[in-house]
A and B are shown apart, each in its own frame.
Chain A
Amino acid sequence: MLIEVLIVGVMVGAIYSLVTIGYSMVYGILKLMNFAHGDVYIFGALLCYTLLAQFHLNAILAVVLAAVAGGLLASLVEFIAYRRLRAAQHRMISMITALGAAYVIQNSSELKWGNQVQSFPSLFPADHIVIMGSQVSVTHIFTLIIAVVVIVAFNLFLKYHKAGKAILCVSEDIPTSSLMGIPINKTISVVYFLGGVFGVLGGVLYSASYNAISISMGFRGTIIAFTAAVIGGIGSMGGALIGGMILGLSENLISVYVSSSYKDPITFLILIGILLIRPTGILGRTEAGKV
């Protein structure tokens, strides 16, 4: 029993890490709470659902299309609602436009797909394998592998690819990067695009492993990404991984051993606790305030 719970927890944790990476990256660069993140991811996942269930597309093609659409939507939101405000007087302004953008996407998706829970088709065979005496679904294994591969690939991209290095530079210091000839606007668009892509991937994997999708998962996704990013240390890749894992595991342990209706309140309590005790997160750096 415990091993199964732990394996599911690790899988959910890996998905959360995937969703968190994009979110944390955006925060690391712009110091902007992207409230629209979860709504972008649920938009992509719902699009994938339609492509699979109505158009019977090949699974890989559907996921890729949905992820690209999500990425484009995320960059569009950045372009419309955030870019003009980057130099704005106060960060709160872009936070509120972010919320506004989130509601626009959420409401538009609701008009298209309704607010009911729909059954998401499985992407993997419904087999089980036995690990250390407990049955583990193949879906969970595949999901875990995909999430880990994507996270590792993204880290390699950041370290070795030119565009990846540009992202790291911009997150260090925007004015200096711009002086060094890094195209800031383009890099930020890429960051949002990738954030959207990873978000949609995470959303699709999550919906596929639970066979369910609904619009309300969007806001929850934003909060999960927030919480995981804050727990691990916002802006840090390793932190996103740790935060996602902690949330995935704790959530599953709580819903099995306590009650699933207290799963979300306890997630929020963890968030409050972390904010009070160590607001910079486990791997985060403290920043000195400027006057």
Chain B
Amino acid sequence: MEKDAGSLIQNNSSKSAVVRRILITGICAAAILGLPLVVQNTYYIGIANFMIIYTILCMGLNLILGYTGLLSLGHAAFYGIGGYVTAILMTRHGFSFLPALLISGILAMIFGMILGIPTRKVRGDYFCLLTIAFGEIFRLVAQAWIPFTGGAMGIVAIPIPKIFNWVIRSEVDFYYLGLILVGFTWLSLTLLIGSRFGRAFVAIREDDLAASVMGINTPMYKILAFSIGSFYAGLAGSYLAVYQTTITPSSFRLEESCLMIIMVIVGGMGGMLAPISGVIIMTLATEAFRSLAEYRMLIIGVIMVVVLLFRPQGLFGTAAFKD
């Protein structure tokens, strides 16, 4: 907290730092926006699109894990809820993409709220277990409830999304759609963290008990963090549905939740942009070993152990785990 506040004040006071910051941001933004012009290979754009999905997921998860310290291993379920809601609305009820996206986010948020309520009573490890159970129930029900979710085969032929006159068809189109979603996520979360709510989240991150003594309604904020984080997961799922045009339960296994957690941890919890580095590193690591696909979980497992043994605060993180 002190560190954050300190660095903010510093940035405000010294102009050169502000200029440098704007410059770096500008260059990064230009590089990200111009990427499809330079990289013509759609395979690489596809990798970037998956990074975008994980960025949205991890930014939301970071609010849960990094700010309120709740270890949720059920994040893939909210991602899945978003995916299935969009798939069902667009294939069976003729919804267009934008309303489906919004409803996906909101439904995921409602489920997040429901799962967040027990944080009042269930703590620590037990809460983690609860999220695992929720995630597995979601996946198993998606697998078993064939008339509604299509079972293990999932839902296929999700229509091509269209926003006003923009038909989103190619990898590059999806890249820009994803960037819009990331921009929205980043902007809304930055506004949130800067607000009164955000300061409460930071206080909870620093010291749960002290925050509650200061009159912050910690259970309410935890539920809030959980529902907001889930909302973004719902958006990511909706994007995945239209991007892949199919949705299957196997995309939402516990491993996905673990991967998101480890992305957030590798990048560093608690910062706004730090998880992105985790997303990039983990995606590149798993892509680099694509020819060794059967070693994927082995590699992820080793990274999980090694990072936490030697650098639990992540590569760029400010907040380490606290009790």
Closest Cβ of chain A to B14, distance in Å, is 33
Are B309 and A81 touching (Cβ within 8 A)? yes
Q: How far is the CB of A88 from chain B (nearest CB, A)?
A: 7
Partner of B305, one of A97, A226, A230: A97
Q: Is the CB of A223 within 8 A of B136?
A: yes
Please state if B209 and A291 are interface contacts (CB–CB under 8 Å): yes
Tell whether A269 pairs with B323 under 8 Å between CB atoms, given A104-B301, A226-B129: no
Q: Name the contact of B321 in the complex, choosing from A84, A89, A103 (C-beta under 8 A).
A: A89
Given A111-B294, A275-B118, A89-B140 contact (CB < 8 Å): no
Check A96 against B261 for contact (C-beta < 8 Å).
Answer: yes
B300 x A103 contact (CB < 8 A): yes
Report the interface size for chain B: residues with CB under 8 A from the other chain.
46
Q: How far is the CA of A31 from the CA of B128 in the complex (A)?
A: 13
A275–B68 CA distance with the chains assembled, in angstroms: 20
Knowing A262-B144, A275-B118, A275-B130 touch, does A100 contact B305 (C-beta < 8 A)?
yes
> Do A96 and B308 touch (CB < 8 A)?
yes
**Residue contact A33 to B125, C-beta cutoff 8 Å:** yes
Bound form: Cα–Cα A269–B130 in Å: 10
A85 within 8 A of B: yes
Do residues A107 and B305 form an inter-chain contact, with CB atoms below 8 A?
no
Distance from B318 Cβ to chain A, minimum over Cβ atoms (Å)? 14
Q: Does A149 contact B (CB under 8 A)?
A: no
Contact digits for B111-122, partner A, Cβ 8 Å, 1 yes 0 no: 000000010011
B281-313 contact mask (Cβ, 8 Å, vs A): 1 or 0: 000000000000011111011111100110010
| Cross-chain contact B121 with A276 (CB below 8 angstroms) | yes
Interface range, A side: 35 or more
- Residues from chain B with a CB closer than 8 A to the CB of A85 are 308-309
B118 with A276: CB separation less than 8 A: yes
Shortest Cβ distance from A261 into B: residue: B144
Q: B123 to chain A: which residues have CB within 8 Å?
A: 279
Say yes or no: A101 contacts B301, CB within 8 Å: yes
* Inter-chain contact A89/B301, CB cutoff 8 Å: no
Most B Cβ at <10 Å: residue of A93, A269, A279: A279
Query: Does A91 interact with chain B (Cβ within 8 Å)?
Result: yes
Closest A residue, CB atoms, query B306 = A100
Residues of A within 8 A of B265 (CB): 96
Bound complex: CA A287 to CA B298 (Å): 37
In the complex, which residue of chain B has the Cβ closest to the Cβ of A272? B133
Within 8 Å CB of A33, what residues of B?
A: 125, 128-129
- Among A81, A90, A268, A291, the one with the most B-chain Cβ atoms within 10 Å of its Cβ is A268
**Chain B contacts to A: CB under 8 angstroms:** 71, 73, 118, 121-126, 128-130, 132-134, 136-137, 140-141, 143-144, 209, 254-255, 258, 261-262, 265, 294-298, 300-305, 308-309, 312, 320-323
User: A residues touching B (Cβ–Cβ < 8 Å)?
Assistant: 31, 33, 80-81, 84-85, 88-97, 99-104, 106-108, 110-111, 219, 223, 226, 230, 259, 261-262, 264-265, 268-269, 271-272, 275-276, 279, 291
7 A-B pairs with CB atoms under 8 Å apart are: A81-B305, A84-B309, A96-B265, A99-B301, A103-B297, A262-B140, A268-B136
